[in-house]
Structure 1
């Protein structure tokens, strides 16, 4: 295990609480964590106190999917979706604290990522943009807790991709001094962190993961996801289709790089399926699994880093067929397994990262890694929306709004 104070073990003292909220491109809902952080002998100590998953209402799911594409009255609709998201976030926070029997006064801040609907860093005018629907002011009002949000835009302003932001956190909790390891997050989009023993980190988005798999499964089976990957496993990979999908220019671009639903969306798949006739739906699903596995492992090999093992987090870890295909392409000598084996539940890693990023912001410490985002330097990430009792935390814990 790469760090010592995990899985509920006690700290020498009682550090304050942070909440992390993560709703990713898979649009399945919000993961909320309540965590404590401390440093001992230059190592981050983490205690994950409580976790819950709150599914999105169907209507909000549909609206977020629609807002990923150009449409009528977008500003109005996005504002109302932000209000609805803040309501879901607030309910998750209150439920989380009730389960943990922790009061709002004991929590320093909530790290709320928001819902990404457009991601175009570096495009159009050389700066580009990234858009996360969120209403952090409303969330602060509904909970009485300070909210840190808008994590990506400062990195984009500094010439970066604004993503992935999790590699810095991965280094803190999974990095090892004796060997290189990789962390592969299989959310809607797959992102990879290569953690080198000297502390260096490489990071990038490798391509699509659950976003295409879930959309195709819902369209053809009526189920929101392929449980265990059994449907994909019943199909046969269509090699001509796979090779055509692999021609997407994004895959050949060197890292650091990031992507999202702007590139990999159902219409992208439909366009590639033209000319393949009545290809069985399960064969398409099998091919999409293969695309995710191949592009993830290719990204690893492209950096010529020999890793001891690959830890997998995100919803894709529960797709047994995808995990088997990842293991096949990685080779028998490199174990591919859930981050649960490293002490952190796979569905909690990203939410914990945003709790940690909120803490970094309040301490005035950087949250990005230029080697992962291509920003011109380290930056403090996030905007702060103070909650009730803000001055109390300034005085008693030394947290402050970064300059």
Structure 2
């Protein structure tokens, strides 16, 4: 196997599983364009009790002891290591053939903006001990990608626009890459040949699947709304949608990022009147995701001709239809149309970030995160 084979691991905001992607990269590190071939990709489920704990801790009101956080860091690391080993076994790839693992971990809190009023420092917290991963797998591990960008004054997110640009930027049209995870984020890709179109930019737009998943779990006992069927059974509550869209965060200009600790069920419940049918709330949450993406795109790159979607939300046919309705005149399609498995793109990104780090190359884009400059991200944990 080639020395440019990397394994990316991530559990996203929804904590619906650990995504693993074995990726072979062609082309010199740091090149403006590259080829990334997905050798193997799969999502490995969390143990139910551990996932329930992660979802609970992602809520703003959750309280946990320092001992519990330290133990959870190791438990998540063990789960990531097990996912890596299972991916190697399932793909038939030997650990010795993998240059490095790029592990994102599990985000528990994301507060990248200082709050002068209470004297708090900006921070972001991902758990999943990389020492445990390196020890258990015997593979060099690169992890803790976000905190250096935050230390440099950035948001630590999104981290994949540079990869999106290398893989998907066009000379013919303005494009956007839309990641539909628990949170939605956009990468804006102006036509590559039009230097006056501005830099590549990216930012979070608000909730994608996270609120819908949590509401579905509460009212249907299911971890996600398969094909958007729960939402399709309801009607959008226009008054509720207006109250949700009035959240001040949506009006903030980029760079910006958010997480489950901001957009959680407590936030939704604060806007309910108590008489809404559960299916109508679900339909409204789906509409919120679609409208906030469309609002953000119109405000930042109105000439976008094509939206290339990835992440779990691609499989929600009702959400994809709502996005297409909210963006008339714009093609909305899965990244599969461009040869990229929508379920693997984010994990592929952390394989790429590990490669960047090992070559001493920046992984962030200051035009995206707001950092003071390009930075090499993450720490390296030898096997």
What is the TM-score with the length of structure 1 in the denominator? 0.89
* Alignment match of 2:124 (pick from 126, 130, 144): 130
CA distance 1:81–1:320, shift in 2 (3 Å): same
Distance 1:215 1:202 in 2: 29
Distance 2:249 2:218 in 1: 25
Once the two structures are TM-superposed, the CA of residue 139 in structure 1 deviates from its matched residue by 0.6
Aligned to 2:91: 100
Contact 2:3 2:98 in 1 (8 A): no
Aligned to 1:225: 224
Deviates more, 1:119-128 or 1:86-95: 119-128
Distance 1:230 1:66 in 2: 25
CA distance 1:42–1:245, shift in 2 (3 Å): closer
Aligned to 1:350: 346
Distance 1:321 1:42 in 2: 35
* 1:169 counterpart SS class: helix
Aligned to 2:35: 45
Deviates more, 1:89-98 or 1:235-244: 89-98
Q: Cα RMSD between the aligned structures?
A: 1.6
Once the two structures are TM-superposed, the CA of residue 47 in structure 1 deviates from its matched residue by 1.3
Distance 2:100 2:202 in 1: 27
Contact 2:165 2:189 in 1 (8 A): yes
Aligned to 2:254: 255
Aligned to 1:21: 9
**Residues 1:78 and 2:37 are matched in the alignment:** no
* 2:34 counterpart SS class: strand
Aligned to 1:214: 213
Number of matched residues?
372
Contact 1:63 1:81 in 2 (8 A): no
**Residues 1:300 and 2:291 are matched in the alignment:** no
* 2:145 counterpart SS class: coil
Contact 2:3 2:97 in 1 (8 A): no
* 2:41 counterpart SS class: strand
**Structure 1 residue runs without a partner (length 5+):** 1-12, 388-403
Once the two structures are TM-superposed, the CA of residue 330 in structure 1 deviates from its matched residue by 0.5
**Residues 1:381 and 2:377 are matched in the alignment:** yes
**Residues 1:33 and 2:21 are matched in the alignment:** yes
What is the TM-score with the length of structure 2 in the denominator? 0.94
Once the two structures are TM-superposed, the CA of residue 100 in structure 1 deviates from its matched residue by 2.1
Aligned to 2:278: 281
Distance 1:357 1:45 in 2: 14
Contact 2:25 2:35 in 1 (8 A): yes
Distance 2:150 2:265 in 1: 26
* Alignment match of 1:328 (pick from 325, 328, 342): 325
Distance 2:190 2:19 in 1: 28
* Alignment match of 1:165 (pick from 147, 159, 168): 159
Once the two structures are TM-superposed, the CA of residue 180 in structure 1 deviates from its matched residue by 1.4
Q: Deviations over 1:256-313 (max 9, x none)?
A: 100001210111111111xx23211111000000000000011000014312211111
Aligned to 1:205: 204
Distance 1:65 1:148 in 2: 25
Aligned to 1:315: 312
Contact 2:16 2:46 in 1 (8 A): yes
Distance 2:102 2:331 in 1: 32
Aligned to 1:63: 53
**Residues 1:177 and 2:171 are matched in the alignment:** yes
